[in-house]
């Protein structure tokens, strides 16, 4: 232990040396203290950085937990699709349907270039099977309206021609015999015979009712053709899958006239819904053995429109150019989600965006069900009040756009303002990178589009109407699994357009398609809109 010397015994020189030593020690202590202060500051900075990292990791962990909870909730399946034998059958069906559709188109082109009375059938075309004898038979006789010849003599029946069509009633096949009596005039040797009615598939055995049943079974009931064939076999009728594919291919071509006309009708409306969903395309080549992803785009009138219709547009990608091509030259309000594919039309100024409140709600609902945000419940409560008001409008008003506008201004406007204030308040209170912040920002960035429905009674609050029209495709993905090609996807879109539009108008798709397929061969092209679902009326019997 150092002791201080007796200063009184020190000489002047010794005192100076002692003072100098004290100064050196004081300076050393000051430097040590400064170094300690610097270390303390570094430790404080490091502590702040660690706190920041812990907070960031905590937010990131919450994000990953939220996403994991969503994955578990949605129960995502395997991304890889392996072809089974049944799936190969489905692909074969689509190819055969394509061949039938192309054959019919080629026949139409060749019909304009030749006057031959009959064309020789291809050598590889299978011979048609005779219809089973055990089927009940309905005789339909086609006779002249008058048995008087133009020369004044009475016609004498000399025989008849019989053509058989395979018809169908639910759970029952029966033969339809068309008997065309032959009448001859003995005086002038004139033969008179009633002509056969025109059919969609000329010289085929399928009646319009049977064709309708096959179409509805595949595209509304989601029964692949190989399953339908098994059902028919149980009824004692053997129809090959290639025959069924041929029927669908040809019907798809014939019905395209109707879907083209319906597309024009929808593009005449001032408000349209739009949505899209993926469908796998089995388009394979030598370079890529994997299935491709196609997309079905749906465009529908609103539930407020007296014209109830939906049109499906099948494309090989989700590129915005498809929406832009479909909506080319169209002007009006487009109700859709926030998919960027529609943005080009909004930038033009000709199309006005109407936001979807259901998508905004979905962001908060996902947070709520996964338990990652307690404040999301308040947003759900306010949005639910908006939907409750819409339910009251349907119940308490006469259903006009003016009534909807007044009701929304009186009740919905205040709730929307309350929701906006809640969003802006909590936007500053939650971490910017959290899932809650993303849900809030989603709504605030689209607030103008989301609140646009308040000022126009013709606009809906959300896009759920057209999302409901996508359900048949979601069911189809699980049953017939995929489209065999771009062409088969487009054909499916055409047929499903008419089936779903018929349902929207309260029609039985089977009855509607049966009548349309019966009338289509002789219906005037200029009056094709009369056969569209929203204008269709069955022919009086």
Other CB atoms within 10 A of residue 132 CB: 13
Complete DSSP assignment for 239-304: --HHHHHHHHHHHHHHHHHHHHHHHHHHTTSSEEEEEEEEEEE----SS--SPEEEEEEEEE--TT
pLDDT on residue 480 = 54
> Where exactly are the structural domains of the chain?
356-462
117-120-122-128 Cα dihedral, nearest 10 degrees: 80
pLDDT score recorded for residue 63: 62
Q: Check whether 421 has a pLDDT greater than 80.
A: yes
User: Under a CB-based contact definition with an 8 Å cutoff, are residues 294 and 483 in contact?
Assistant: yes
- Tokens 């179409």 belong to which residue? 215
| Average pLDDT of the segment spanning 265-270 | 97
Q: Cβ distance 61 to 455 under 8 Å?
A: no
What does pLDDT average to over the chain?
Answer: 85
Task: Kindly indicate the confidence band of residue 422, based on its pLDDT and cuts at 50, 70 and 90.
Answer: very high
pLDDT score, position 393: 94
Mean pLDDT, range 130-156, rounded to an integer: 91
Distance spanning both ends of the chain, measured CA to CA: 126
State pLDDT tens for residues 320-332: 999 999 999 999 9
Helix (H, G, I), strand (E, B) or coil at 512: helix
Q: Give the pLDDT confidence score for residue 338 in this predicted structure.
A: 86
For 538, list phi and psi in degrees, rounded to 5: -65, 145
What ranges make up the beta strands (E) of 170-236? 172-185, 190-193
At 161, is the secondary structure helix, strand, or coil?
Answer: strand
pLDDT tens track for 424-464: 999 888 888 888 889 999 999 999 999 999 999 999 999 99
Q: What pLDDT, on a 0 to 100 scale, did the predictor assign at position 193?
A: 95
Mean pLDDT of 112-129: 56
Give me the mean pLDDT over the 101-106 stretch.
75
Are 179 and 159 in contact, with CB atoms under 8 Å apart?
Answer: no
Bridge-based pairing state of the strands 332-335 and 292-300: unpaired
Distance of CA 93 to the CA centre of its chain: 22
Neighbours of 388 (CB within 10 A): 13
Q: Beta-strand (E) ranges in 351-478?
A: 351-354
Judged by average pLDDT, the poorest of 53-57, 191-195, 228-232, 432-436 is 53-57
129 vs 159, residue with greater confidence: 159
Q: Is 157 helix (H, G, I), strand (E, B) or coil?
A: strand
Mean pLDDT of 250-266: 95
Structure tokens at 160: 């008849």
Q: Would you give the distance in Å from CA 483 to the centre of its chain?
A: 14
Name the pLDDT band for 503 (thresholds 50, 70, 90): very high
Distance CA 246, CA 98 (A): 8
Query: In the predicted model, is pLDDT for residue 109 greater than 80?
Result: no
- Decide if pLDDT at 87 tops 70: no
Going by the DSSP 8-state scheme, the letter that residue 10 receives in this structure is S
**Two tokens at 82?**
């392996």
The rounded distance, in Å, linking the Cα atoms of 274 and 259 is 17
pLDDT of the residue at 71:
60
């Amino acid at each position: 232990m150092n002791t201080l010397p007796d200063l009184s015994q020190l000489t002047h020189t010794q005192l100076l040396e002692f003072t100098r030593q004290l100064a050196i020690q004081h300076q050393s202590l000051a430097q040590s203290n400064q170094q300690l202060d610097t270390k303390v500051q570094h430790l404080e900075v490091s502590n702040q950085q660690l706190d920041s990292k812990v907070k960031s990791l905590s937010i990131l962990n919450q994000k990953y937990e939220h996403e994991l909870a969503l994955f578990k909730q949605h129960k995502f399946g395997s991304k890889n699709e392996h072809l089974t034998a049944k799936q190969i059958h489905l692909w074969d069906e689509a190819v055969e349907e394509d061949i039938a559709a192309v054959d019919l188109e080629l026949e139409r082109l060749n019909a304009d270039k030749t006057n031959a009375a009959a064309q020789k059938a291809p050598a590889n075309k299978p011979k048609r099977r005779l219809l089973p004898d055990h089927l009940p038979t309905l005789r339909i006789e086609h006779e002249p309206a008058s048995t008087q010849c133009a020369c004044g003599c009475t016609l004498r029946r000399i025989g008849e021609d019989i053509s058989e069509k395979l018809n169908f009633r639910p759970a029952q096949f029966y033969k339809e015999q068309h008997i065309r009596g032959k009448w001859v005039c003995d005086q002038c040797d004139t033969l008179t015979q009633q002509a056969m009615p025109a059919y969609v598939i000329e010289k085929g055995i399928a009646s319009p009712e049977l064709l309708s049943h096959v179409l509805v079974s595949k595209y509304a009931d989601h029964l692949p053709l190989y399953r339908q064939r098994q059902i028919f076999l149980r009824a004692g009728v053997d129809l090959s899958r290639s025959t069924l594919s041929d029927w669908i291919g040809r019907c798809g071509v014939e019905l395209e006239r109707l879907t083209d006309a319906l597309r024009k009708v929808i593009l005449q409306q001032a408000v349209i819904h739009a949505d899209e969903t993926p469908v796998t395309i089995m388009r394979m080549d030598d370079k890529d053995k994997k299935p491709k992803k196609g997309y079905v785009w749906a465009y529908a009138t609103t539930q407020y429109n007296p014209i109830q219709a939906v049109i499906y547009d099948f494309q090989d990608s989700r590129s915005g150019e498809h929406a832009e091509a479909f909506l080319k030259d169209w002007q009006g309000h487009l109700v859709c989600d926030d998919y960027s594919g529609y943005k080009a039309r909004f930038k033009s100024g000709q199309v006005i965006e109407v936001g979807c409140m259901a998508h905004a709600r979905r962001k908060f609902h996902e947070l709520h069900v996964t338990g990652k945000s307690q404040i999301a419940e308040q947003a759900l409560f306010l949005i639910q009040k908006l939907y409750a008001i819409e339910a009251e409008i349907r119940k308490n008003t006469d259903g006009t756009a003016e009534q909807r506008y007044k009701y929304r201004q009186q009740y919905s406007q205040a709730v929307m303002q309350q929701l906006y204030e809640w969003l802006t308040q909590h936007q500053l209170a939650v971490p910017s990178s959290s899932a809650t912040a993303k849900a809030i920002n989603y709504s605030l960035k689209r607030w103008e589009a989301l609140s646009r429905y308040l000022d126009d009674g013709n606009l809906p609050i959300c896009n759920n109407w057209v999302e409901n029209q996508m359900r048949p495709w979601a069911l189809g993905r699980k049953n017939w699994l995929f489209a065999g090609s771009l062409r088969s996807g487009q054909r499916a879109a055409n047929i499903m357009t008419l089936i779903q539009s018929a349902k929207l108008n309260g029609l039985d798709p089977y009855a509607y398609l049966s009548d349309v397929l019966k009338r289509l061969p002789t219906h005037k092209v200029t009056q094709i809109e009369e056969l569209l679902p929203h204008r269709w009326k069955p022919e009086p019997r």
